[in-house]
Structure 1
Amino acid sequence: MNTFTSIIIALYSITSIFSERIAVTIIFENFSDKTAISGVFYISETNQRLEINSLEPFTITLPKKGRYQFEFYSEDVKAFIYYPTKITKRKNTVTIRLENRTNNSEAISVPIKDISNFSNEQIEDGINNGTINFIVHGLTALSPDAIKLFKDVYGIGFISENCVIDPMSYRTAINTNKRIEAYLNYKFGEDWQNKLPAPPFGL
């Protein structure tokens, strides 16, 4: 391979890498009485952590289209986050909804059992009883019709939890969702992932 050919291949590779990048816009819907906040925006897959001190929209760059898990936490307000199941150049907006904190906001959270040690038989028993659910943290624009369709086919429901994530609920969400993922892959292959009505936390 001559030098000229090597340069062409290198330039093509660099161009391809940059062309795959996705610009994502993050916007705030402020339903709180705060005019300024501070918080942390986090992207699990890229391990990006951004300090936020403004309600102005901002843009981030992701390496390629695909499924991502976004999180936002602020001590000033109660925050919910929703976004497309798969980020693409057309579906590239993340919305963070802000609401006032209430004194009893933490009390309404329902503990969820960690099923990471469940056998396939135990999961199937839970499906028959309607107790196996993916955990979704935050407001993710859940469609009841889409959730019903998914549950009718695969037997798995969805539970939307407060997106203020403490260490215990974080581990529970990750462990539960990954165990359900393993079961569905075993039972149906990976095609079910394209039919998810919302992105489960940690997947």
Structure 2
Amino acid sequence: MIAEDSALLREGLVRLLVEEGHEVPAAFGDAASLLEEMRERQPDVVVLDIRMPPTHTDEGLRAALEIRERRPGVGVLVLSQHIEHTYAAQLLAAGADRVGYLLKDRVAQVDEFLDALERIRAGGAAIDPEVVRRLLVRTTHTDPLARLTPRERSVLEALAEGRTNTAIAHQLHISLSAVEKNLNAVFDKLDLKQGPDYNRRVLAVLRYLES
């Protein structure tokens, strides 16, 4: 299902997804209508714009957070016109399962957009690479991330995009054991101890987004 107030983008998304073999049972111009429809049915994934009627502030984000809380089995992909890292952090606060945050420009890159949707449907995450790169530039020398080596930062950047260890190894052209070694170093330097009650991968991404 889709919630996007721009009729042109909304219809374009519907057409693209249908042409790629997906079913789009409903598409709306506001978040409230989407939430109402979801009382009757549960889609695999919902795609929402952050800013929608009536106030055009954060209606889509609030709807996404509600879906994450009440329907954890539904994937949520939020689209944004601009980079708003606090929103990305809020989305990931409940975990990095079935969630995504992409800039709207990414929709034009069809293969990347469809890949993100598939990752979310399969239970993973998809964070826009530009969001990750922009946040990387924002880090300062007083930030804990400044303690990471360039390779460790590259691994964390790929992790923040929602990639698995295998995908990170393929992207960076390193071995799987090297990915695991660098991730463990990241966890240690960010003081993220192993424990049964939380996911260090999620905590590392949150620390990255909040820094």
More helix, by proportion = 2
TM over 0.5: no
Q: Which has the higher contact order (CA 8 A, sep 6+)?
A: 1
In the superposition, the TM-score normalised over structure 2's length comes to 0.32
Larger strand percent: 1
Taking structure 1 as the reference length, what is the TM-score of the superposition? 0.33
